[in-house]
Structure 1
């Protein structure tokens, strides 16, 4: 009965989304306040009924209801409860229902927290948001129904993909979806502004917190996915330029450009049409990611589905929303005249360069991700685009962006003084160059590129600290009085510097050794000794394990005993690798147990990875910086909106 209730709630969500789309739009066209006011309650109702549908599916997974085909395909009674819950979204149908739930959540949040929005703009925004919900509710019901019953339920299920049975993957997809779907609010604001023909500083203030929230969630989701790949897949890397990794990275880059562009639109009323375009493209790349993950056109270990029919349906949705948005943009963007005038050397110009470099970086990732598909369809050739292309094409552009970031953040609005800004940033630059030289010396000259990355990462980090120091008037006691937005920007920019520094040191300084080891044998790697003490067989909740006990020593001191594993999941018939990692502030020691060898012994891989944790520590700082900024901007936006909101019935034109 619970499944039928969930199915009925999903049908009701479709109906409510249709009403949310049509009634406020008609009210806007007719200037009927009551009809426009319907948008808020409809958005709340959409969230409630979609939430009811999702909870019904969640209960089916938690109770192992094998009368549902989806539960049979993605769960098992012996699976730990955390992974039963994660199984709800660890598949195509369930993940799309979560997608719809988060979409409804953002619409409901706009209805609750958008009290300061002009009634006409709010009605249009929620109408556009409702249309997206309508499209995806129909997509789920007609192509991906998660509540399909089986006539003859089996005794047990087929289990969740073993690679997804990990805490990192339990939380990684929801955060990514919060980011993907959060960008729908920026899209809805952009379409509403195009329909009204008005983009001003108030619009930019309203759209920024939604974009910032989406960017924060994307940052956390990408970091969790990278961390999972690092410790779960057993290959020791943190980024593979996999198509699904790229699918989340592209909207992150465009959302970053949108945030910086909206600053110019808010402060100087410039770049308005460009900001609108970025809002449309950001959501477009989110939909593109949804298509890549589910269409099966590109192979990936992260893919949820490989159904071309459903992929075509998502492609139609992508064409409708993004194509329709770009068509409307082409028709109306010319009416959005920029008012702000600024010099070549100014913060506005720096932000324009920032936007261009982020957009070019995104285009490079887009080209490298989809070029193999284009080559196969159009040219009839099978090509592979991997890390060498991305490292050669993307990394220089992004490093150039990082160099400009600290300098641009301290330039004055409208007309800046480049020599003064350079003088203020000179200490940060000197420190960065010094650390780069130190890194080159410690790496014994192995990698000039690694030393350059250290120099740039340190420059970005010290530049963020310099920015805070200058904004405090070079007075320590005024640092705590700075607005949270300034602290948020400093944390986010500093976090980017920390991540760049970590990637540079790890890429250039990793030590690796692969060999066959007998029990009791010792391997030396760097300053450490690794002893394969023993290998034993065992059993987990729903898997068999071969686990090694490996002692890590430095000199005569026992640093840690690590337990790398090879697991086998009998139901799914799949193996996984669990690395043994001893993490420290300045290095990780990473051990992987391989297969037994014919002549006796075990294949063992050992790595010493310097500054590995700094990669994810920087991501945490970036997300924290966004969160600090978000708290400040919400207060300011709410106050500003109340002051500027027009009286009821007065059109916001």
Structure 2
């Protein structure tokens, strides 16, 4: 009965989405305030019914209701309760229900927290989100219903959750990733609403920017968590494989990064409106493309969910409608998208658009590298493989000019910047960056050209960021009006968000450069009591013990690590066997530190009782994820800027000057 109620709730959520897509949009067209006012309760209704449906499916997992096909395929009675709850999104149907739950959450958030925005714009935005929701709910109800029954015959126990997903990382990673993916739908809706209304000034960019920053911050954390999970869970010692599904999450992040910068330029200088709208459309389109890749079965990956061609065709049709329709509207409104601001060839505007071009080029590289093997095979030209060397080489070419401009841009003035005025600063920044990189690189036993290049780029960002802060506060200090601390406190949260974002990227770049150049790996054959020395660390293989988990058995290899005769770590590497799915999984033993990780993976037992082990020393690898979280924190800081809260006051004052009391009431 609970499952039937959940299915009914999904149908009701679809009905709410249909009404949301019609009434507010028509109300905005005919200027009917009551019809526009329906947007908020309809958005709330869609959210409430979706939450109820999700709760019903969760109940099915907790109570081991194996009459539900999805529960029978994804859970098991021996699964720990916390994994039963998270197993709700452990397969295709449930993960898509999580997707629409998060989509409805973003929709209701826009409805509840957009009181400062004119009701016509809110009505159009929510109506567009309602139109997108229709496609999502139809997809779930017609091809991927999580409430399908196996009655009258159903198994007494389930097939169990994929062992890869029985991990703390997969409890956090999918919701964060989906919050980012789906969050770009709000930026998309604002852009389409602006195109529909013809209100293509900079105001829509200000309204859209905090929502876009929030989505980008969630996606940054989601991508970082996915990388971290792959590092410690898959046992291969790497943090990014350029897997097609990994790429599917990386492409929206690249375009989203370009979008948040372009929105800032459009908001402040009223330029690049056409480019900003196109980026907003592209960010959400790439999120939908990622959904297609993960759920269509066209790609094989440890991250993919489904292999049903009918599902892929449905999502492909949804892609065509959403992307095709939005691009057609964009082309129709293109003549009205000309910017009014003026700027010289060397200015902050041009430098920002230059970095947007490099981010877009990087996205195109990832897109072509991901889809070309698929297209090549489908047209009958055989199989080709595009692997990590291609992506690494192309990104090296793109990241050098990108980082160069990233350092110069914040130091430059809007409209026009004299190159001579920056020459001395940039020369000092370059000298400091090279000196710092050489000193850090000299601390390692062997030098690496690529590590030096990565460090120079990282320190370039750090030095130019510090210079930009000094440039901002210097006039206040020299005038004697404020102290250094007071001047720093005067800087806005939005500015500190930019600083945090740039410094976070520098930290990630340091991690990537050093672990790529100085990562050391050794595959060894060891018996209990044997030892091996790697990068000054002595790894002593003690023994192998056995233990039983709630739904698996495991061999655990215990390894002690010594440095200069002192014990610095003990790690336990596991080889787990899951009897229900007959799968063997590797759980690496990792001792994490601020400047290095000691990584041990247990291999197979050999004939004479020896074991194969894979041992790594990974310098600064945790800086990759630390930098990502610093970047995401920068997004949160920018959202907190008071000018986004002051918008409400501005609109109220404008409304009070009008002779239309109904509109004034709506704006309040």
Q: Tell me which residue corresponds to 1:586.
A: 595
Give SS of 2:554's match.
strand
**Residues 555-594 of structure 1: pairs in structure 2 closer than 5 A:** 555-594=564-603
Q: Deviations over 1:180-224 (max 9, x none)?
A: 100001111111111111211211100111111110010000000
2:254 matches 1:253 = yes
Q: Deviations over 1:522-571 (max 9, x none)?
A: 11001110000001121111111010110000022110111011111111
**Residues 145-294 of structure 1: pairs in structure 2 closer than 5 A:** 145-151=145-151, 152-294=153-295
Quote how far apart the aligned CAs of 1:247 are: 0.4
Q: Tell me which residue corresponds to 2:33.
A: 33
Quote how far apart the aligned CAs of 1:351 are: 0.7
2:410 matches 1:400 = no
**Residues 595-634 of structure 1: pairs in structure 2 closer than 5 A:** 595-632=604-641, 634=644
Give SS of 1:538's match.
strand
Quote how far apart the aligned CAs of 1:481 are: 2.6
Deviation larger for 201-210 or 453-462? 453-462
The alpha-carbon distance between structure 1 residues 599 and 644, as it changes in their structure 2 partners (threshold 3 A), is: farther
Q: Tell me which residue corresponds to 1:85.
A: 85
Structure 2: how far apart are the matches of 1:204 and 1:489?
Answer: 17
Q: Tell me which residue corresponds to 2:480.
A: none
Quote how far apart the aligned CAs of 1:640 are: 4.3
Quote how far apart the aligned CAs of 1:476 are: 3.7
Contact 1:461–1:498, Cα closer than 8 Å, also in 2: no
Structure 1: how far apart are the matches of 2:55 and 2:614?
Answer: 43
- Structure 1 unaligned regions, length at least 5: none
The alpha-carbon distance between structure 1 residues 335 and 300, as it changes in their structure 2 partners (threshold 3 A), is: same
- Using structure 2 for the length normalisation, give the TM-score: 0.95
Structure 2: how far apart are the matches of 1:43 and 1:166?
Answer: 34
Contact 2:191–2:204, Cα closer than 8 Å, also in 1: no
**Residues 390-429 of structure 1: pairs in structure 2 closer than 5 A:** 390-429=391-430
Q: Deviations over 1:97-127 (max 9, x none)?
A: 1111111111111111111211211111111
Contact 1:443–1:508, Cα closer than 8 Å, also in 2: no
Contact 2:200–2:336, Cα closer than 8 Å, also in 1: no
Contact 2:202–2:273, Cα closer than 8 Å, also in 1: no
Quote how far apart the aligned CAs of 1:147 are: 0.5
Deviation larger for 25-34 or 561-570? 25-34
Quote how far apart the aligned CAs of 1:294 are: 0.5
Q: Tell me which residue corresponds to 1:76.
A: 76
Structure 2: how far apart are the matches of 1:311 and 1:33?
Answer: 40
**Residues 282-361 of structure 1: pairs in structure 2 closer than 5 A:** 282-361=283-362
Q: Tell me which residue corresponds to 2:529.
A: 520
Give SS of 2:640's match.
helix
Structure 2: how far apart are the matches of 1:422 and 1:616?
Answer: 34
Structure 1: how far apart are the matches of 2:472 and 2:34?
Answer: 47
Structure 2: how far apart are the matches of 1:629 and 1:81?
Answer: 38
Structure 2: how far apart are the matches of 1:629 and 1:637?
Answer: 15
Structure 2: how far apart are the matches of 1:641 and 1:62?
Answer: 48
Quote how far apart the aligned CAs of 1:644 are: 5.0
Give SS of 1:564's match.
strand
Q: Tell me which residue corresponds to 1:635.
A: 645
Structure 2: how far apart are the matches of 1:443 and 1:591?
Answer: 22
Q: Deviations over 1:426-469 (max 9, x none)?
A: 44433321132234434455521121011101211232233223
Structure 1: how far apart are the matches of 2:70 and 2:320?
Answer: 29
The alpha-carbon distance between structure 1 residues 317 and 387, as it changes in their structure 2 partners (threshold 3 A), is: same
Structure 2: how far apart are the matches of 1:542 and 1:471?
Answer: 59
Contact 1:107–1:126, Cα closer than 8 Å, also in 2: yes
Match of 1:529 among 513, 517, 538: 538
Q: Tell me which residue corresponds to 1:550.
A: 559
Structure 2: how far apart are the matches of 1:8 and 1:179?
Answer: 28
Contact 2:93–2:140, Cα closer than 8 Å, also in 1: yes
In the comparison of the two structures, how many residue pairs are matched? 652
Q: Tell me which residue corresponds to 2:481.
A: none
Structure 2: how far apart are the matches of 1:217 and 1:598?
Answer: 48
Contact 1:519–1:533, Cα closer than 8 Å, also in 2: yes
Quote how far apart the aligned CAs of 1:83 are: 1.2
Quote how far apart the aligned CAs of 1:48 are: 0.9
Q: Deviations over 1:337-368 (max 9, x none)?
A: 21001111111111110111111110100000
Contact 1:552–1:560, Cα closer than 8 Å, also in 2: yes
Deviation larger for 571-580 or 280-289? 571-580
- Using structure 1 for the length normalisation, give the TM-score: 0.97
Quote how far apart the aligned CAs of 1:62 are: 2.1
Quote how far apart the aligned CAs of 1:29 are: 2.1
Q: Tell me which residue corresponds to 2:123.
A: 123
Contact 2:575–2:586, Cα closer than 8 Å, also in 1: yes
Q: Deviations over 1:247-288 (max 9, x none)?
A: 000000111111111111111111001111111111000000
**Residues 122-141 of structure 1: pairs in structure 2 closer than 5 A:** 122-141=122-141
Give SS of 2:157's match.
coil
Quote how far apart the aligned CAs of 1:642 are: 4.0
Structure 2: how far apart are the matches of 1:462 and 1:58?
Answer: 50
Q: Deviations over 1:294-328 (max 9, x none)?
A: 11111111001111110110011011001100011
Q: Deviations over 1:474-502 (max 9, x none)?
A: 63432123111111110111000000011
Deviation larger for 556-565 or 377-386? 377-386
Contact 1:365–1:394, Cα closer than 8 Å, also in 2: no
Structure 2: how far apart are the matches of 1:519 and 1:287?
Answer: 51
Give SS of 1:558's match.
strand
- Structure 2 unaligned regions, length at least 5: 478-483
